Amino acid sequence: MSAEREVIDLDEHNHQPTAAGSVVPDRLLTRRKTSVRLVAAFLVGGVLGGFGVSELRDSREERERNASVALVAFPASIAGVGSDVPGVLQLDGQLAVTNASQAPITVRAATGQGPGALVRDTGKSRLLRPGDTELINVELRLECATAFGNELLSMRFSVETGDRQTREIDYPIALVGSIWHVRSEQPCAHFREMKKRGG
């Protein structure tokens, strides 16, 4: 053996391929399995997490949609003019209510009060789908001298939303120029004429 081969070169690498059928160390196999499991768990977690976030967002949006209430109301008709006090009309009327929300609502009650005006529903609930308009029967008490001024009639609606919660919604209504005002003009003019004659 020559002297040159007795020196060991530490930079030399053994580039011989592993022989077929040789055993890979257990530690290396365990590391590979762990890596594969971590990648699989990450992928599954990502898919489930994305699905969960999407479901949570959809659920929250549906809850918000069910909880929000928007409506529009205006006087629709009037009938049965009567009076027990001079200058004060007692009438039966109807209020048109439109559901401007994105979910169905049930109008449980409607009441209104303003200068010289009182309005209350007759107790029948109305289910309104989005965009629907329903007529609510109401009883009115209107004072001819003060009911038709510039102030708005403040209506309050008790509404049950899709999440079975009851909410109170205020909506102002203009009486001046409405059908209630127009149909009250003649009886009020009659009262005013009687007052003049009596005075």
| pTM higher than 0.85 | no
| Same domain for 168 and 101 | yes
Provide the number of structural domains found in the chain: 2
Q: Are residues 124 and 143 in the same domain?
A: yes
- Please give the distance of CA 100 from its chain centroid, rounded to a whole number: 10
Select from 46, 67, 88 the last residue of a domain: 67
Per residue in 63-115, pLDDT (tens digit) is 555 567 899 999 999 887 788 788 899 999 999 999 999 999 999 999 999 99
Residue where a domain stops, chosen among 45, 67, 89: 67
Whole-angstrom Cα distance, residue 155 to residue 171? 5
**Residues 119 and 40 both lie in one domain:** no
Q: Number of H helices and number of E strands within the chain?
A: 2, 8
Paired with 134 in beta bridges are: 97
Mind listing the pLDDT tens digit for each residue in 103-143? 999 999 999 999 999 999 999 999 999 999 999 999 999 99
Identify whether 15 is part of a domain.
Answer: no
C-alpha 124/C-alpha 120 separation (Å) is 11
User: Averaged over 140-155, what is the pLDDT?
Assistant: 92
CB 140 within 8 A of CB 118: yes
Measured from the Cβ of residue 80, the count of other Cβ atoms closer than 10 Å reads 11
User: Quick one: which of 166, 139, 144, 28 has its CA closest to 86?
Assistant: 144
Domain hosting 59: range is 28-67
CATH of the domain at 191: 2.60.40.10
Question: Do both 166 and 91 map to the same domain?
Answer: yes
Radius of gyration of the chain (CA): 40
